[in-house]
Amino acid sequence: MEQKFFSIEHRDKVWILTINRPEVLNALNFELLKNLKKAFLRFKQDPNARILILTGQGEKAFCAGADIQELRGRHIVDEKQGMLLGQETFNTLEEIGKPSIAAINGYALGGGLEMALACTFRLASPNARLGLPEINLGLIPGYGGTQRLTRLVGQAKALQMILTGKPIKAEEAMQFGLIYKMTAQEKLMDECLSLADQLCQYSPLTISLAMESVLRGRDVPLKEGLVLEADLGTIAYNTEDGREGLAAFVEKRAPKFKGR
């Protein structure tokens, strides 16, 4: 698998994917988007991979968005295809069936924030700045930002961020649930790894079912969502891990999940 513009470090069941374009604040070009999609699929298919951590090289930026130099002078058809590529890449990340963690170590703007929004968890350092500044260029977010941000923080806050284009600090982002936790820059990766370790203690099958219930249920009426929850909950109950979890609780011991 080609890893141009990023690196992957394997730590047992955890993958740490670091975007490596610090000279342009880890901006996303189209080749990088294609390779990221391939990496996400590879992670999904690896039976030993449990948690994906995404971050950016250096201490200035997680990802400062799309590479503006690539956007100029493009044919309208090519531009539409580029937006669809970004959406497909981040859809792949969101629907991977395994938890992902964005370690936001600086600027997360435009496509960078859109990538973080597709992650399951977002942790940030105090110097992080999160925003969708496309309005300043006469554009709107095109890699899922108008949709995921609204679903995450609500219409009013999403419109505020999108229409003003002003980035917000990590502390403010915590107040309305945009990020899960803020921690010192030098401790950011350790906190992400600690969360990853916690998630690895649970049944990977159960986690996948829970994520499917949330993601599929958010876009259907409540009654349909409840049916989905009941169906997936029944599946979880009838797995080996479900039976093991109940037995361990009764026997007052730690469960030994096997992903079956």
- Residue 191 φ/ψ, nearest 5 degrees: -65, -40
The confidence score (pLDDT) of residue 82 equals: 86
| Domains in the chain: ranges and CATH | 6-200 (3.90.226.10), 204-250 (1.10.12)
Q: What is the pLDDT of residues 154-198, one digit of tens each?
A: 999 999 999 999 999 999 999 999 999 999 999 999 999 999 999
What angle separates helix 204-217 from helix 222-237, to the nearest 10 degrees? 170
Tokens encoding 218: 């958010």
**Known catalytic residue: 88?**
no
- Choice among 114, 171, 186, 191 that is catalytic: 114
pTM for the predicted model, two decimal places? 0.94
Q: What is the pLDDT along the chain (260 residues), one digit of tens a residue?
A: 557 899 999 999 999 999 999 999 999 999 999 999 999 999 999 999 999 999 999 989 999 988 877 777 778 887 888 889 999 999 999 999 999 999 999 999 999 999 999 999 999 999 999 999 999 999 999 999 999 999 999 999 999 999 999 999 999 999 999 999 999 999 999 999 999 999 999 999 999 999 999 999 998 999 999 999 999 999 999 999 999 899 989 989 889 998 88
- Choice among 79, 94, 134, 224 that is catalytic: 134
What angle separates helix 30-45 from helix 76-94, to the nearest 10 degrees? 30
Which of 7, 6, 27, 180 minimizes the C-alpha distance to 99?
Answer: 180
What angle separates helix 155-164 from helix 145-153, to the nearest 10 degrees? 140
